[in-house]
Amino acid sequence: MRYLKFARLKLGMTQAEAAKEVGITQGAYCNIERGQKKPHPRLYPVFAEVLQVPVNDLVSRIHKLDPDQR
């Protein structure tokens, strides 16, 4: 997800740093950032806080990419 990558890089964070703050592995974070997996919904507020983005923006971008949501 470009949105996650952009927000992370804007803060000068590595994937490992962001993953640690969120509480997941770097591999899991990488898969989420690449769009191969979605974060668990309970982690949406955590991602938003760590990446300093509005949770509503994060959620809408996650579901916009979901072909089942069309």
The per-residue pLDDT for range 19-65, each reduced to its tens digit, is 999 999 999 999 999 989 999 999 999 999 999 999 999 999 888 75
Domain annotation for the chain: domains and CATH numbers: 2-69 (1.10.260.40)
Residue pLDDT, tens place only, 8-31? 999 999 999 999 999 999 999 999
**Which H/E stretch holds residue 36?**
none
Q: Has residue 67 got a pLDDT over 70?
A: no
Hey, is 16 helix, strand or coil? helix
Confidence of residue 69 (pLDDT cuts 50, 70, 90): very low
**8-26: buried (b, 16+ CB within 10 Å) or exposed (e) per residue?**
beeeebebeebbebbebee
Are the C-beta atoms of residues 38 and 32 closer than 8 Å to each other?
Answer: yes
